[in-house]
Amino acid sequence: MKVLVTFAVDPEFAPWRRRCRFQSAGDRGTRAWQATVFGCDVTVLLTGMGSEAAGLAVDALARERRFDICVSGGLAGALREDLRPGDIVVPQLVIRDSSAPELKVNQLEVDFRLRELAIHCGARATACQFTADRVLVTRSEKKRFASRADAVDMESFGVLAEADDSGLNCVIIRSISDVASEDLPIDFNRTRSGDDQVSLSKVLLELAKHPLAMFRLIRFGRQSRRAAEALADFLDTYIEVLGKMNVASSQNQVGAA
């Protein structure tokens, strides 16, 4: 089984990359990685931050290679009060901001069977994920969108839309990095680099403006790393079950023949 897993940035992927010994795919530099995980041929694509960047990255790779399923992975912010850091969430629906009149589709559904499998593996079933066009920094921003969705990220809509266009069954599996009631330590919208990654120099510039945020940033960094590790644990379980199901399906086909 050929599985495509997307992350926006490397820190989301790093725990799983080290654990499964992913190797950089030479044709796409360090933005694509490959490994055999529990018998599945897994390709990880670092898309960069934002729905548009994610969609373009998935579209380009899907034109080059064939995949059986797609997983939009990474971290997400909680909009629901009962979601805690490290919770693995799997929504049924993903929506994006509908304020732009030129957008024809503002909501998409994930693949039912892949979502049910994730729930079986221990993920929390959520109704809706919101793909924002910017990082929601303050608790007041999160509260404004809480009536529309359970969690927020910046890439899932773009990944799901391009997966649908490519005929790929897709599921969203995210780990909660920050709770609904907390402000982020700095404005991460000001730290994006030209290639839609996080710029360390811009992070340091934000800290220079707000030096008291240093300890909160360290705490948030640790919290995010634990969330990424929880996601790596879950992906191990999920991919292992997918691999077993694929083997069983192949054996049944041979037996039927």
How far is the CA of 251 from the CAs of 24, 92, 241, in angstroms? Answer: 32, 31, 15
Residue 27: predicted pLDDT: 57
- How much is the pLDDT for 193? 87
Lowest mean pLDDT among 6-10, 60-64, 220-224: 60-64
In this prediction, residue 194 carries a pLDDT of 81
What's the pLDDT score for residue 189?
87
Share of the chain above pLDDT 70, in %: 91
Q: Report the pLDDT averaged over residues 194-203.
A: 86
71-103, pLDDT tens digit by residue?
999 999 999 999 999 999 999 999 997 655 545
Q: Which domains does the chain have, with CATH numbers?
A: 2-256 (3.40.50.1580)
pTM, two decimal places: 0.91
Average pLDDT over residues 95-124: 85
Name which of 19, 1, 77, 11 is nearest 46 in CA terms.
Answer: 11
Q: Give the pLDDT confidence score for residue 252 in this predicted structure.
A: 54
pLDDT tens for residues 123-166?
999 999 999 999 999 999 999 999 999 999 999 999 999 999 99
pLDDT at 257: 47
